[in-house]
Amino acid sequence: MQLSVIEALLNSLPEQAGSWAVRDVRIGLFQTIVVVDTPRGVRGGLASTLAGGQHQHGEGQGVRDAGRLTDYDPLSLAALGRSDSAMEAAVGLAAMNALIDVDEARCVEVNAADILAERGAGKRVAIVGHFPFVPQLCQKIGMLDVLELNPREGDLPADQAARVLPEADVVAITGTTLLNHTFDALVALCSPEAYVVMLGGTTPLSPVLFDYGVDAVAGTQLVDVEAALRAVGEGASFRQVPGRRLLTLFR
């Protein structure tokens, strides 16, 4: 039986990272960032902050050990990616993204929206998650279905995935499905012939995802960690985070 994608990603991390140090953890309004000291220098990783969108007075699932997360070693922090708390899972995914050795020689600086436009020309495209490029993409492809937990006008509710995904020629899956642990079930719904893209700032730039049916992995590499750290701490949205490169790893 195949491991869950989270377990496979954790298994792919360098074992020696357990002896490295976590320098900083910031859970911003829109983004979460983890900064790690490694033998090759400081690295940072991003993930989306999914906090439920409403104020809570300590109720619900927050972050265990808040205020002490820098006492964790990087691998233990990454293991929070297993958590049922979306905020803890964001810390875990951000730590994973900081630890992954990105093979830059295999990456291309291309926007995921351009990949979808090229692959989706005259075809049926399904996107899990509403992205800002959706209106423009509609004009470049054959047919578009957008599945969203909080549907906007024109979107379909996420519970329509079992009907929509098997019929799609091209499927785009947001990296935040790793935070709510829906990725494995969603990718299993895709046709074996579909071209699958995983995208968004949470997406790990890891070839492990190819073993789970993904053909293109569109993620983010931080090249100015300090600038990104400041911005996340001040409530930056993903587009406002400086010092990042949008890279795509192809199968």
Q: What is the pLDDT of residue 137?
A: 93
Q: What is the pLDDT of residue 61?
A: 62
Residues 90 and 32: beta-carbon distance below 8 Å: yes
Residues 173 and 183: beta-carbon distance below 8 Å: yes
Instruction: Give the whole-angstrom CA distance, residue 219 versus residue 204.
Output: 6
Q: What is the pLDDT of residue 60?
A: 52
Instruction: Give the whole-angstrom CA distance, residue 244 versus residue 46.
Output: 10
Query: Burial letters for 214-250: b for 16+ Cβ neighbours within 10 Å, e otherwise?
Result: bbbbbbbbbeebeebbbbbeeebebeebebbebbbbe
Per-residue pLDDT of the chain (251 residues; tens, 9 = 90+): 789 999 999 999 999 999 999 999 999 999 999 999 999 899 999 999 986 544 344 455 678 899 999 999 999 999 999 999 999 999 999 999 999 999 999 999 999 999 999 999 999 999 998 899 999 998 899 899 999 988 888 899 999 999 999 999 999 999 999 999 999 999 999 999 999 999 999 999 999 999 999 999 999 999 999 999 999 999 999 999 999 999 999 99
Domains of the chain: 5-100+223-242 (3.30.390), 105-220 (3.40.50.11590)
Q: Mind spelling out the 3-state secondary structure of 137-202?
A: HHCCCCEEEEEECCCCCCCEEHHHHHHHHHHCCEEEEEHHHHCCCCHHHHHHHCCCCCEEEEECCC
Q: Which amino acid is at 46?
A: L
Q: What is the pLDDT of residue 56?
A: 44
Q: What is the pTM of this model?
A: 0.93
Instruction: Give the whole-angstrom CA distance, residue 133 versus residue 126.
Output: 13
